[in-house]
Amino acid sequence: MMPAAQQALPNTMGLSSHGQFFARFESISQLLELLRWAQRATLPVRVLGAGSNVLLPEYVPGLIVQNGMGQHRAVRRDGNFCWVVVDGGCPWHQWVLDSIQYGHGVENLALIPGTVGAAPIQNIGAYGVELADVLEWVEGIQLSTGQLTRWSIAQCRFAYRDSVFKRELRGDVIITRVCFRLARRFDPDVSYGPLAQWAQTHEVTPVGLIEQVCEVRRSKLPDPQVLANAGSFFKNPLVAADKAEQLQRLHPNMPKYPAGDAVKLAAGWLIETVGWKGKRLGPVGMHDQQALVLVNHGAATLADVQALVRQVQKDVLARFDVLLEPEPQLFAEA
């Protein structure tokens, strides 16, 4: 198969971006063919999912590939769990909808944009559940070796919105398949406030929980097809317990949550408190309903986004002595 030249690259942030060459593979053999083509042309290879958690420059050199494989199948069952292998190109939300035919554990992650293959990079999480809670292994092509490799959950080195694929292996892996370990017994986590309130008056079923998670997300996050955005833009920062106590003495209404030996602060609250909720800087701004979401009001460039990020970081640092870290990665930066 021959890649297309000068292809527009999809991204939910709505940034205009073109790749030197682009191709969507539907099988491992097609992927290997594309990698050989890039090697002969001495071009770097980069993988792009649905473009939901990345910031794209105006031009990306090399060959950009996208996983078009989207099947799933159960490979093992016992009395407690069902193991399901899912192709990396499967849309994440579609997988959540399909998952309940096998088992349970990902219902709280409904409506998160992106693909299954992108999910391990960020160790996606929401409403008390993280990908690491239900993952068995990740499989993919490691570009530096050309080998099909499998990483166990321990080798993935998952942390809060982090993994080995975001650190040491950044830009070096095309994730082709992910194996999930789903519980056969439905034991939902409805500890998150809005879910807990809903559960008090409703029978909690897998379908019902997915629908409620979708409703909560839609009430908090703008639809990128209506208002371009990359979802929650900043990580909730982790600080030492003594620092959190010091900050709460100064700001009694500051929300905080235990996170092991550290304390997690609410990035959205920090941003809103310094006055950025609903505020714009050129064509970009922080959403007027959710300060954690950076939105593109039209024709924004990567430079516009980066300028706003720096200003928000500067203001939060000056007020709270806390440095916010963006969740989306700069595409093609390895």
The catalytic residue positions are 161, 232, 327
Report the phi/psi class of residue 155: left, alpha or beta, with left for phi > 0 and alpha for psi in -120 to 50.
alpha
d(CA 44, CA 54): 18
Pair 124, 112: CB distance under 8 Å: yes
Pair 51, 113: CB distance under 8 Å: no
Q: How many CB atoms lie within 10 A of CB 167?
A: 11
Residue 329 CB partners (closer than 8 Å, separation 6+):
53, 54, 55, 121, 166, 170
Phi, psi of 55, rounded to the nearest 5 degrees: -115, 120
d(CA 142, CA 157): 17
Cα dist from 263 to 85, 216, 238, whole Å: 35, 24, 5
d(CA 293, CA 271): 10
d(CA 75, CA 264): 37
Residue type, 48: L
Residue type, 164: V
Pair 240, 292: CB distance under 8 Å: no
